[in-house]
Amino acid sequence: RAGMKKELPEKFRSYKHVWVFVELERGKVHPVSWELMGEGRKLADKLGVDLAGVVLGPKSDETRQAIKETYHYGADVCYICEDPALADYRNEPYTRALTDLVNTHQPEIMLLGATTLGRDLAGSVATTLKTGLTADSTELDVDDEKSLAATRPTFGGTLLCTIHTLNFRPQMATVRPRVMAMPEPDRSRSGRMVWHSLKMDEADIVTKVLEYVADATTDDANLAYADIVVAGGMGLRVPENFRLVTRLADVLGGEYGCSRPVVQKGWLPADRQIGQTGNTIRPRLYIAAGISGAIQHRVGVEGADLIVAINTDPAAKIFEFAHMGVVADALTVLPALADAFERR
């Protein structure tokens, strides 16, 4: 902030309203879009402007459904660009469509999910528009100058910094799935539609989608949206002991996860990692076994309704934020819990 001009340049003064990019991939809306819609509503209300959803996709029933739901989750307006070139996500046509929409309708804030697609798109859109982007924000607000104040962890998660994009528009931010709460949809809501047409010639697009191949290194875990998560850390000592974690997760009908060193050792795949550089989770129940509770792990689990920690060290940091704690050997407690729940 220091040394920056406080006056917004003339060319940006007409920029108004809050936009949320609705991530539609292969016919499905990523739920982070609705989480952002809830957050966007708060920002729009504070600024006294409209909240808009941006839907890009092919002409299809799924695209129409995404438009409807955009209103249900709080949008007043929906900007839509339907084109066959937008059927599968590719950076070039998506960047072109979104930058064109921004240049035409001039939003002051634009939010995207920090998903694989959202990160790719947000970076290239911000670069093309020559504006600021705060990636992986954990808190969004409006400051006294009515600018976006986006907070994110820095220095390896040991500090939080708040970033203000004072001189550029739109002010862009990405937010990871599950960092913001999911709003309740109101199925009676509808809103305005603004159609945007683009002449996209397939011959000008360098990238072609030939086929989709499942990633064999992951098992498509949906950890971020699971209701119950059981995770293990280095306290479990050897990879074989993770059977105890997966068994309890199975018995409870939940998912299993782990701390970062477990992934670094190659004991579990990267999509099982929980924390700042892994998944953010918001389950009803989170059981952490043999996890010390480092800040980088804590930021990924703080949204859980009930945190239960099992650790042999009563001074472990995890007991500072767990709701319930068991000071005991996880290798004994995990199978005992699984047996007890299995009997019920």
- Annotated binding residues: 259-260, 273-277, 290-297, 311
When asked if residue 72 is in the footprint of ligand FAD (CB under 6 A), the reply is no
List 111, 316, 322, 337, residue binding ligand FAD (CB under 6 A): 316
When asked if residue 231 is in the footprint of ligand FAD (CB under 6 A), the reply is no
When asked if residue 49 is in the footprint of ligand FAD (CB under 6 A), the reply is no
When asked if residue 311 is in the footprint of ligand FAD (CB under 6 A), the reply is yes
The answer to whether 267 and 240 are in contact (CB under 8 A) is: no
Smaller CB separation from ligand FAD, 159 or 340: 159
Could you please report the per-residue DSSP string of 173-230? EEE-TTSSPPPPP-TT---EEEE------GGG-----------TT-----GGG-SEEE
Sole residue written with tokens 């009930």: 306
List 32, 110, 287, 294, residue binding ligand FAD (CB under 6 A): 294
Size of the site for ligand FAD (CB under 6 A): 29
Sole residue written with tokens 């947000």: 122
| Amino acid (1-letter code) at residue 192 | R
Smallest distance, ligand FAD to C-beta of residue 284, A = 21
When asked if residue 296 is in the footprint of ligand FAD (CB under 6 A), the reply is yes
Smallest distance, ligand FAD to C-beta of residue 337, A = 13
List 108, 275, 283, 322, residue binding ligand FAD (CB under 6 A): 275
CB-based burial label for 106 (10 Å; 0-12, 13-18, 19+)? middle
Stretch that binds ligand FAD, among 78-86, 140-148, 159-167, 227-235 (CB under 6 A): 227-235
When asked if residue 138 is in the footprint of ligand FAD (CB under 6 A), the reply is no
Closest CA to 204 of 102, 79, 95: 95
For residues 91 and 292, give the distance between their C-alpha atoms in angstroms, rounded to a whole number. 40
* Order of strands, sheet of 228-232, starting from the edge strand that comes earlier in the sequence: 255-258, 228-232, 285-289, 306-311, 324-327
Reported in sequence order, the residue ranges of the chain that DSSP labels E, i.e. its strands, are: 18-22, 24-25, 28-29, 51-57, 77-82, 109-113, 133-137, 139-142, 148-154, 159-164, 171-175, 192-195, 228-232, 255-258, 285-289, 306-311, 324-327
Stretch that binds ligand FAD, among 30-38, 127-135, 208-216, 289-297 (CB under 6 A): 289-297
Smallest distance, ligand FAD to C-beta of residue 152, A = 13
Smaller CB separation from ligand FAD, 110 or 308: 308
List 291, 322, 337, 338, residue binding ligand FAD (CB under 6 A): 291
Binding-site residue ranges for FAD: 259-260, 273-277, 290-297, 311
When asked if residue 153 is in the footprint of ligand FAD (CB under 6 A), the reply is no
Could you please report the per-residue DSSP string of 226-247? -SEEEEE-GGG-SGGGHHHHHH
When asked if residue 310 is in the footprint of ligand FAD (CB under 6 A), the reply is yes
Structure tokens given for 301: 């689990």
Stretch that binds ligand FAD, among 31-39, 56-64, 99-107, 267-275 (CB under 6 A): 267-275
Stretch that binds ligand FAD, among 27-35, 43-51, 246-254, 328-336 (CB under 6 A): 328-336
**Residues near 200 by beta carbon (within 8 Å), at least 6 away in sequence:** 83, 85, 86, 93, 96, 97
When asked if residue 273 is in the footprint of ligand FAD (CB under 6 A), the reply is yes
Contact footprint for ligand FAD (CB under 6 A): 156-157, 233-235, 259-261, 273-278, 290-292, 294, 296-297, 300, 310-313, 316, 329-331
